[in-house]
Amino acid sequence: MSEQEPASRIRVLDPATINQIAAGEVIERPASVVKELVENAIDAGAGSVTIELTSIRDSIATIRVTDDGCGMSDADARLAFVPHATSKISTISDLHRIHTLGFRGEALATIAAVSRVTLVTKSVGSGLVAGTRIVVEGGRVRETSGTGCPDGTSILVEDLFFNTPARKKFQKSKNTELAHIHDICEGICLSHPEIAFRLVHNGSEHLITDSTGRPLDAIARLYGSTVAAELVPVELILPFIEVRGFVSRPSLSRKDRARMLVSVNQRYITSAGINDAIKAGYGTLLPKDRFPVAFISLIIDTGLVDVNVHPTKKQIRLSQEKEIFEAVRDAVREALFSHDLIPSIEVPGPVERLATDPPHAAPSGYPVSDNRQPGMVAESTHAGTITTDQRLRQTELPLTPRPTAVISSLLPRMEVIGEFGGIYILARTPDGELLIIDQHAAHERILYEQVSGPSGAVRPSQELISPVVLHRTPKEAAIIRDLLPALAKEGFVLEEFGGDSFLVRAVPVILGRVEESPVIDEIISDLVSEEASQAVSNRERIVRIVACRGAIKAGTVCSREQCQRIVDQLRMTQNPFTCPHGRPTLIRFTRHELDARFLRV
């Protein structure tokens, strides 16, 4: 080896380089800059915050956040860019009672390390005309001067990632970055209705809220008044947690969780656990693949929340997670059951009048197995009436009484006017409203509540006159074998019948006199074909399938008396608004809505 080895390969990095590396953690993209700057403005007690973006070609060029908060003195402004300079904590013990959004003292230093930042600030009540202007580029202070400016702070960020080309390359299209910024701003606006926000891009306003202090106003501003009108308020106060916010009636749901916004101690966070708890509050009000719109704000003892687990604080760690999740679930459930959940038909405005979309179509993705054709008219046959009667009688088991607290609030008395197409029951309420009830969905709900009583009890079963033989593939047979104990509890008596065959000797009483082997075959097929999932227990799956198969089919024409029995029974259920899959059982037209449709108002 002729070349001389360098004395040392290890170098201590200079602070500017350290900050560039750290920047990667906190400042991933333009949206992270917006988040940090807006959070600082909130911490500074701002009453209004303006976020101005410009873009050229396909990327975000500049970000400016202006607030009317407390501002900074000249000395503080100089310190603000020093790593780990913060006015918010001084010792580790402060961390446990921190109520501000920032506290690491990293954001400004890291943003300035990877861009050119111009800070203009003046502390409130200083009485001075001039504030401070500081320009920092790539972590180095380029300019410090006095400047005339209003109280508060304005921070302009340009040339983001100019000195970290790798990160710059990772930036997505302008629209993607704008969408991220939008998401961040939404969460912040919702958790701070007391602050007026304005998000402007290339001079045009994207998002704007007033500082009314009422969360519902911010929601209506961001998502429209139609969404706001479908929400019911949530409020549960326990010693260790306060749950507040709004959740949608089941008639407003989505395929994804994108409108489930949760803040903890006014910080917008992502938590699969809390989302699940919100969904759990709906029970069977929503299908398993539909998600509510929910704006939930949790105030939790700061001792139970560790926000310091994720650099951007988007994820948090909770102590007593189970109790917190239960509180959220109970709060949502209570909110839903103490409000009128019957979806109303929206009165169309003059422009949208006669819109063709059914306002409450079955959620897409839900397999509608019945052959439902609105307007279809089926002739009632004598034989049909008798079977329906038998079925209604067999299934008219007493329902477990509901807690009295909710007994009066769920459904009004309903007087049947008639039926339509063998699918819908028309009824009137004492208040003169018209209700349209989905006969199958309603009966399914009734049966579901009858069969899903206490899980320990064994369901009554009825022996089949001639047992039915099921032949299955080895894989299906294995699934059935696993399900045998659960099936037995629900009233199915199945025996091994050699190879991969089974003999069905008895079925739950609730299924009525099913003698046709195809029906039994179908029930078992439903059970083996449906993906077993963590969320729904075997028992729950069996109960839902039994309720669905046992219920009167759409297309079965019922007499008025039969219809009346169905609606009376529906009133007795704990959750009369949806079938076990979450589809609505009934919708309502008020007189006002009908009058509006006929242009009488």
Map residue 493 onto helix, strand or coil: strand
Closest separation in Å from C-beta 12 to Mg ion: 27
For residue 219, the partner it binds in ligand ADP, Mg ion, none, with Cβ less than 5 to 8 A by kind, is none
- Give min distance, CB of 93 to ligand ADP, in A: 17
Contact (CB, 8 A) for 214 and 202:
no
Report the residue from 23, 60, 80, 107 that binds Mg ion according to the rule CB under 5 A. 107
Hey, which residues does 145 pair with through a beta bridge?
133
How many CA atoms are closer than 13 Å to the CA of 333, on its beta-carbon side?
15
Residue 19 Cβ, how far from ligand ADP at the closest point, in Å? Answer: 11
Whole-number Å distance between alpha carbons of 314 and 231? 26
* By the rule CB under 5 A, 252 interacts with Mg ion: no
Q: Which is nearer to Mg ion, 268 or 502 (CB)?
A: 268
Q: Is 86 in the site for ligand ADP (CB under 6 A)?
A: yes
Binding-site string for Mg ion from residue 420 to residue 449, where x marks contact by CB under 5 A and - marks none: ------------------------------
Residue 144, token pair as written in the block:
């410090």
User: Is residue 83 within the footprint of Mg ion (CB under 5 A)?
Assistant: no
Q: Which residues contact 229 (CB under 8 A, 6 or more apart)?
A: none
Count of residues touching ligand ADP (by CB under 6 A): 23
Q: 169: Cβ–Cβ under 8 A, 6 or more apart, which residues?
A: none
51 touches ligand ADP by CB under 6 A: no
Q: Which residue in 28, 59, 88, 207 binds ligand ADP (CB under 6 A)?
A: 88
254 binds, among ligand ADP, Mg ion, none (CB under 5 to 8 A by kind): none
- Six-digit token pair at 139? 């972590």
Strands of 365-518 (E only): list them.
415-420, 424-428, 434-438, 461-471, 493-496, 501-508
3-state secondary structure (DSSP) of residue 264? strand
Interacting residue with ligand ADP among 35, 64, 104, 549 (CB under 6 A): 104
Q: Smallest distance from the beta carbon of 35 to ligand ADP, in angstroms?
A: 10
Which of 157/596 has CB closer to Mg ion? 157
The residues with which 232 forms a beta bridge, in sequence order, are 247
> Count residues contacting Mg ion (CB under 5 A)?
3
73 binds ligand ADP (CB under 6 A): no
Sole window of 69-77, 281-289, 518-526, 581-589 interacting with ligand ADP (rule: CB under 6 A): 69-77
Report the nearest approach of ligand ADP to the CB of residue 57 (Å): 29
Q: Does 80 bind ligand ADP (CB under 6 A)?
A: yes
* Phi, psi values for residue 324, rounded to 5°: -65, -45
Whole-angstrom Cα distance, residue 33 to residue 204?
A: 20
- 418: amino acid identity, one letter: G
Per CB under 6 A, 307 contacts ligand ADP: no
Among 20, 40, 209, 265, binds ligand ADP (CB under 6 A): 40
Instruction: Provide the minimum distance between the beta carbon of 182 and ligand ADP in the complex, in angstroms, as a whole number.
Output: 21
Select from Mg ion, ligand ADP, none the partner in contact with residue 486, using the beta carbon and a kind-dependent cut-off of 5 to 8 Å. none
- Among positions 11-40, residues that touch Mg ion (CB under 5 A) are 40
Cα Rg of the chain, angstroms: 31
| Among residues 22, 26, 71, 157, the one that binds ligand ADP under rule CB under 6 A | 71
Q: By Cβ distance, which residue is nearest to Mg ion?
A: 102
Q: Which residues contact 433 (CB under 8 A, 6 or more apart)?
A: 412, 588, 589, 590, 591
148: β partners:
130
Between the alpha carbon of residue 448 and those of residues 278, 435, 465, 577, the distances in Å are 22, 22, 25, 13
Give start and end residues of each alpha helix (H) in 230-320. 272-282
| Residue 287 beta carbon to ligand ADP: minimum distance, rounded to whole angstroms | 43
Q: Which is nearer to Mg ion, 105 or 283 (CB)?
A: 105
Residue 40: alpha-carbon gap to chain centroid: 28
Q: Would you state the structure tokens that stand for residue 78, as one six-digit string?
A: 């100089």
For residue 78, state whether it binds ligand ADP (rule: CB under 6 A). no
User: Is 230 one of the binding residues for ligand ADP (CB under 6 A)?
Assistant: no
Q: Which residues have C-beta within 8 Å of that of residue 547, sequence separation ≥ 6? A: 444, 445, 447, 448, 451, 510, 580
Q: Do 495 and 502 touch, CB atoms closer than 8 A?
A: yes
CB 141, min distance to ligand ADP, A: 15
Residues within window 132-191 making contact with ligand ADP, judged by CB under 6 A: 153
Least separation in angstroms between CB 64 and ligand ADP: 12
Distance CA 100, CA 266 (A): 9
410: three-class secondary structure by DSSP: coil
Q: Does 106 bind ligand ADP (CB under 6 A)?
A: yes
Burial class (CB in 10 A: 0-12, 13-18, 19+), 53: buried
Per CB under 6 A, the segment of 85-93, 135-143, 333-341, 459-467 that binds ligand ADP is 85-93
User: Which residue in the set 30, 71, 83, 102 belongs to the binding site for Mg ion (CB under 5 A)?
Assistant: 102
Kindly tell me which residue out of 22, 26, 34, 44 binds ligand ADP, with binding defined by CB under 6 A.
Answer: 44
**Of positions 55, 59, 73, 87, contacts ligand ADP by CB under 6 A:** 87
Distance CA(384)–CA(31), nearest Å, equals 64
Which span (34-42, 239-247, 392-400, 415-423) binds ligand ADP, by CB under 6 A? Answer: 34-42
Sole residue written with tokens 């917006």: 34
596 interacts with ligand ADP by CB under 6 A: no
Phi/psi for 428 (5° steps) reads: -115, 155
Give strand ranges (E) for 301-368.
305-306, 317-318
Identify what 104 binds: Mg ion, ligand ADP, none; CB under 5 to 8 Å per kind. ligand ADP
72: contact with ligand ADP by CB under 6 A: yes
Q: Which of 539, 583, 586, 580 is nearest to 284 (CA)?
A: 580
Shortest separation between residue 55's beta carbon and ligand ADP, angstroms: 23
Binding site for Mg ion (CB under 5 A): 40, 102, 107
- What does the binding site for ligand ADP look like in residue numbers (CB under 6 A)? 36, 40-41, 44, 67, 69-72, 80, 85-88, 102-109, 153
